[in-house]
Amino acid sequence: MPPKKTFSDWLQFVATIVSPLLLAWLGFANERVKENLNRQADFQKQAIEQQNKVIDRQDKILKQQFEQSGTRFEHTEAIFNNLTNNEPQKKRLAVLTALAFVHEGQLPEFMLPVLAINESQDAEIGGYLRQGLTELTVSATVPTSVRDAAVRALNELASPEDVAKLAKGGTDQPVLRANVQAVTELATNLANRTSSTAVAPAERQTAKDQLQQLAPTLSVVAISGPDEATRAQAASALEKTSGTDSHRVEQAVATLAANLPADTKIKSRVYLHIASEAQRPLAEALQSALTVNNYISPGIQNVAGKGYIPDTLEVRYFSEESKARAEAILKLLKDKGAKDGRISLVNPSDKDLRISSDITSHFEVWAGKNSF
């Protein structure tokens, strides 16, 4: 009778059988891993080659477009050189040349904001820029992108910092005052075009888009413009903006506030939200009433499908010390035609506090479905 196998004997037997199989399997698996890695490397190589082909095609298309448009970038280098020249006459000539070349499509429109940022403090050059940029905003012979760039450039001419300097009596008051006036007059012109039946629908939309770009600067001009007439003009143009991004406005106001004395009171901003387009006519009347009563009211946002619609009109305020002003706003709205309403204290989020330079002067009006 053969000896009885112990557990160790069985373990050794199993190891003798399994080990070669395990080694074979590991070898097979290793080869499969190598094949997969090689296949992935091939895929990556092909993807990179394909991407490079796409980039080459895009570069060729872009080059063809530039050639067809007549844009000549050698002008850019020459003009930049003259803009950094210490001779005022050469700098002035460079500005005039740049404006002319942009108008003719021989310079990219991004040059316009660049010029405004770099050259607006020189009184004479600033004058050329204001005149040339204003003409570009209304020119029917240039693309819409050029007109938009001219609006952005004029916006740069009167930045929130400039408005703050003007409010504090900055050293370049005549230049800054002219810059602020140029933006305000342009905004007024655009606001008139947005509502004129004599203007084609496409041009009215372009004017609305351009006016939207000016909303942040118009807000700070309405708060701290050089005189009451300019502030009123800016506030009136601001009414014609639609769907204004409150974040951009509040950021501009924050920049303004940072450049003013700490004890300066900032005008209250009241952002209107409607539940449907049917409410817009009365909302516009309420907006005008707010403006007349010295509030800043940038645009009207239709939040149907985008946000919570309350059951009744709400005047939202974000600080206990703002309660009296919220009640005054609600009374004004009811006196001017709002059917219902209440005030609501909202705890500001960290985001609200970051966005708003002065949360005590930030108010939001949210219309209920039957408020107007």
pLDDT per residue over 246-279, tens digit each?
778 888 888 887 777 777 788 899 999 999 999 9
Q: 247 CB contacts (<8 Å, ≥6 apart)? A: 355
Phi-psi region of 282 (alpha: psi -120 to 50; beta: other; left: phi over 0): alpha
| Residue 360 included in any domain | yes
Range of the domain at 360: 268-372
Q: Is 133 within the bounds of a domain? A: no
The answer as to whether 368 is a domain residue is: yes
Any domain includes 346:
yes
Number of domains the chain is built from: 1
Q: What is the pLDDT of residues 155-189, one digit of tens each?
A: 888 888 888 888 777 656 777 888 888 889 989 99
Tokens for 207?
A: 């004017």
Q: What is the CATH number of the domain that holds 282?
A: 3.30.70.2390
DSSP summary character for residue 296: B
Q: Which residue has the higher pLDDT, 110 or 50?
A: 110
Assigned domain for 85 exists: no
Q: Does the residue 173 lie in any domain?
A: no
What is the C-alpha to C-alpha distance for residues 262 and 53, in angstroms, rounded to an integer?
Answer: 57
Kindly give the pairing relationship between strand 314-317 and strand 362-366. Answer: antiparallel
**From CA 192, how far away is CA 111, in angstroms rounded?**
28
Inside any domain, residue 158: no
Distances (CA, A) of 87 to 93, 96, 129: 10, 15, 18
Percent of the chain past pLDDT 70, that is, above it, reads 76
* Domain-embedded: residue 159: no
pLDDT of residue 66: 47
> Is residue 122 packed enough to be buried (19+ CB in 10 Å), middle (13-18) or exposed (0-12)?
middle
